[in-house]
Amino acid sequence: MSKTKTAAVVLAAGMGTRMKSALPKVMHPLTGRPMVNHLLSTVEALGVDEAVVVVGPGMEAVGRTVAPHPTVEQADRLGTAHAVMQARGALEGFDGDVLVLYGDTPLITPETLSKMLEARRGPARPAVVVLGFRPDDPGSYGRLMMDGDSLESIVEAKDATAEQLAVSLCNSGVMCVDGARLFDLLDRVGNDNAKGEYYLTDIVALARADGLACAVVEGAEEELLGVNSRAELAVAEAVAQARLRTAAMDNGATLIAPETVFLSHDTVIGRDVVIQPHVTFGPGVTVGDHVEIKGFCHFEQCTIADGATVGPYARLRPGADVGEGAHIGNFVEIKKAVVEPGAKVNHLTYIGDARVGAKANIGAGTITCNYDGFMKYNTDIGAGAFIGSNSALVAPVKIGDGAIVAAGSVVTRDVEPDALAVARGRQEARPGWAGRFRQRMAALKAGKSNDKKGA
């Protein structure tokens, strides 16, 4: 028996006017990626065979973001049934199960969608499976009208009677439909309702009138949060962050104050990692095992190897690669640079476009001068080298293995291995000068004061 195929139609044509943004609503980020991609990642994890995204006019940016998944345009926004109809051409000949999802409802899980598919393929073979939930405040949600275990119809809140509004089981909008029947049902949807729109929810009543079964799977309210405003986006972010933190701790990381640690959708954290409060992980960060991350750090597109120590107040920018057992200390910024195993960059330092060799030691206040206003240049610091405090390494420059750069040096030429480089002005001592200076200045000050009194 062949496996039943699954397709997903993601509705993403909404203007999102309550977001007060030039950015399409579904493009607003959640855990570091657009909401619509968050949902598509869930769909991909489910193993769907096809996914089509319905967009509105002028939403080319959404199309680029969701690629390689195809998009279709809903030129006129005439309701949810009309939106799904736009996918007819993309799903021509498809007779598997079709999930109808919403790009602004990104928190739904693969497990919940799997339950819907199981119900659709169960003994009753319902033509339509609706994802329902029981919110604390049913408010404007459509109500699911049940007859025992059978779903009879969905009534929009604006069209509901007082008795129907008393029903607590609500419609999330998410459906799983028999693909062989979907477009026939949609063709018969009318717009005789309070909003004059073509409601996707009407296919339930149409299916029942055809003598077909319809069913409901209940989900958690948390999964079905719709994002229509900045405030709702913040609520969704809080839910998503809580999930990521729990997963990190379940996988063996210690978060001292979990609510202050912010993760991205793709953050990878190893075992026996300790993360102190107020740490932010941007996209593209991988942390090995036995790493200690101290407070108030910010990471993005970087790698931290096993046993390293980072922070507090460290910033690892894109391309930072911290080696095994390396130390990155307070107020250190690393950008597009490799810090090899055992190296130490402990305080008040900028390392950019560089290599810091194994077990090298970089003194406080050191900077790699990697940019001349037009081009970036590389600095290479050899294994076991020692860079004295407050040094400036003017790239391109190479410090050999085991070399020492004296504190306060401005290094503009390569330093040979095991050599000492001193590049600073020569110190002079002038005995008694300071005392004579103070006397002269005191007398000058006193003279000016007397002049003012005489006036």
Counting other chains too, the contacts that 63-72 makes at CB distance below 8 Å and 24 or more residues apart are: 65/27, 65/34, 65/36, 65/37, 66/10, 66/12, 66/36, 66/37, 66/40, 69/40
Please state the residue numbers annotated as binding site for acetyl-CoA: 364, 370-371, 389, 407, 424
CA 172 from chain center: how many Å? 25
> Residue length, the chain?
455
Print the SS3 string covering 74-98. CCCCCCHHHHHHCCCCCCCCCCCEE
pLDDT for the residue 71:
96
3-state secondary structure of 116: helix
* Angle, in degrees to the nearest 10, between helices 110-120 and 35-46: 50
pLDDT for the residue 454:
66
pLDDT for the residue 2:
54
- Sequence ranges of the domains in the chain: 6-224, 230-421
State the Cα–Cα distance between residues 60 and 23, nearest whole angstrom. 11
Question: Of 65, 69, 28, 30, whose CA–CA distance to 52 is shortest?
Answer: 69
**DSSP per-residue letters across 342-411:** T-EEEEEEEEEEEEE-TT-EE-TT-EEE-B-SS-B--EEE-TT-EE-TT-EEESSEEE-TT-EE-TT-EE
**Residue 384 near residue 402 (C-beta atoms within 8 A):** yes
pLDDT tens-digit series, residues 282-338: 999 999 999 999 999 999 999 999 999 999 999 999 999 999 999 999 999 999 999
pLDDT for the residue 426:
87
Question: Of 397, 404, 409, whose CA–CA distance to 420 is shortest?
Answer: 404
State the Cα–Cα distance between residues 184 and 207, nearest whole angstrom. 10
State the Cα–Cα distance between residues 253 and 259, nearest whole angstrom. 14
- Domain 6-224 indexed as CATH 3.40.50.970: no
pLDDT for the residue 455:
62
Longest pairwise C-alpha distance within the chain:
113
The token pair that represents 26 in the structure block: 């579904």
Give how far Cα 38 sits from Cα of 32, 66, 280, 292, 309, Å.
9, 10, 19, 29, 31
Residues recognised as catalytic: 347
Residue numbers in the chain where pLDDT is lower than 70: 1-2, 452-455
Which CATH class, in words, describes the domain spanning 230-421? mainly beta
State the Cα–Cα distance between residues 130 and 128, nearest whole angstrom. 6
3-state secondary structure of 13: coil
Please state the residue numbers annotated as binding site for UDP-N-acetyl-alpha-D-glucosamine: 11-14, 25, 74, 79-80, 102-104, 142, 156, 171, 228, 317, 335, 350, 361
Q: Which amino acid type is present at position 31?
A: T
Question: Of 81, 61, 80, 187, whose CA–CA distance to 71 is shortest?
Answer: 61
State the Cα–Cα distance between residues 301 and 390, nearest whole angstrom. 28
The partner residues of 367 in beta bridges, in order of sequence, read 350, 392
Neighbours of 412 (CB within 10 A): 13
**Residue 316 near residue 328 (C-beta atoms within 8 A):** yes
Q: Which amino acid type is present at position 18?
A: R
Q: Is the pTM of this model over 0.85?
A: yes
Please state the residue numbers annotated as binding site for Mg(2+): 104, 228
**Residue 71 near residue 62 (C-beta atoms within 8 A):** yes
